[in-house]
Chain A
Amino acid sequence: GAVVSQHPSWVICKSGTSVKIECRSLDFQATTMFWYRQFPKQSLMLMATSNEGSKATYEQGVEKDKFLINHASLTLSTLTVTSAHPEDSSFYICSARKRGHSYNEQFFGPGTRLTVL
């Protein structure tokens, strides 16, 4: 199998606080992990791509100082939303690419719903 988990599945926080979301590949090594954001009734928008052991590559318009990504191991990537504001409320989804596999083959996590009050 190729299972990707995310934790937490949902989180509510106060404006100005930071929130960390974890993405884990449970039964495979993920050399690349992707972070997406999905607003209600909208599509998935790629935020950043992270390769194990190197800095993440952010998409245009995504603030790297606000959305901190760490891909410290082949099975774990974290996204930290710093100084969160209500407009950051969204559904955050990660995906992982297996070592040696194509970028077509991304396995998605179940998502984390962030609500910033």
Chain B
Amino acid sequence: GQQLNQSPQSMFIQEGEDVSMNCTSSSIFNTWLWYKQDPGEGPVLLIALYKAGELTSNGRLTAQFGITRKDSFLNISASIPSDVGIYFCAGRGAQKLVFGQGTRLTINP
């Protein structure tokens, strides 16, 4: 089945640093989504990307839909403590979402 490879699996950074994570797939997706999940909660949508090459921002978050439609990245600028959590990429397949393995972000104040 379709799989997404997300990296890195975890990140430990200092407050104020920028963060970058990415997802790759062997399959083409027509939509890429980025979610954040806090402990014990469901995922919350951060950014949705609908067109190859699209670059979209949401505050300090920026995400891009790769030209090949097989990859996407998410950047977080000037990280703050509330950015801590697990970030998941997801690609939309046939009437369902396929999730990456997640990137666990830890921030040292």
Distance in Å: Cβ of B102 to nearest Cβ of chain A:
6
Q: Is the interface of B mostly helix, strand, loop or mixed?
A: loop
Contact residues in B for A95 (Cβ distance below 8 Å) = 42
Known A42-B101, A43-B102, A44-B88: A108·B44 in contact at CB below 8 Å: yes
Contact flags B28-70 to A (C-beta < 8 A → 1, else 0):
0001010100001111100010100000000000000000000
Interface assignment of A80: CB less than 8 Å from any CB of chain B: no
Bound-complex Cα distance A42 to B41 (A) = 14
Inter-subunit contact A46/B96 (CB<8 Å): yes
Contact residues in B for A113 (Cβ distance below 8 Å) = 40
Contact residues in A for B42 (Cβ distance below 8 Å) = 4, 6, 93, 95, 108-111
Inter-subunit contact A110/B101 (CB<8 Å): no
Known A49-B96, A104-B33, A104-B48: A110·B88 in contact at CB below 8 Å: no
Inter-subunit contact B1/A43 (CB<8 Å): no
Interface assignment of B82: CB less than 8 Å from any CB of chain A: no
Distance in Å: Cβ of B32 to nearest Cβ of chain A:
10
Query: Which A residues between 22 and 47 are near B, CB-CB below 8 angstroms?
Result: 34, 41-46
Q: How large is the interface on B (under 10, 10 to 19, 20 to 34, 35 or more residues)?
A: 20 to 34
Residue of B nearest to A111 (CB): B42
Contact flags A93-117 to B (C-beta < 8 A → 1, else 0):
1010000000110101111010000
Known A46-B96, A111-B42: A60·B88 in contact at CB below 8 Å: no
Q: How large is the interface on A (under 10, 10 to 19, 20 to 34, 35 or more residues)?
A: 20 to 34
Inter-subunit contact A44/B43 (CB<8 Å): yes
Inter-subunit contact A103/B95 (CB<8 Å): yes
Inter-subunit contact B40/A60 (CB<8 Å): no
Bound-complex Cα distance A104 to B45 (A) = 10
Query: Which A residues between 74 and 99 are near B, CB-CB below 8 angstroms?
Result: 91, 93, 95
Mark B residues whose CB is within 8 Å of A.
1, 31, 33, 35, 40-44, 48, 50, 88, 92, 95-102, 104
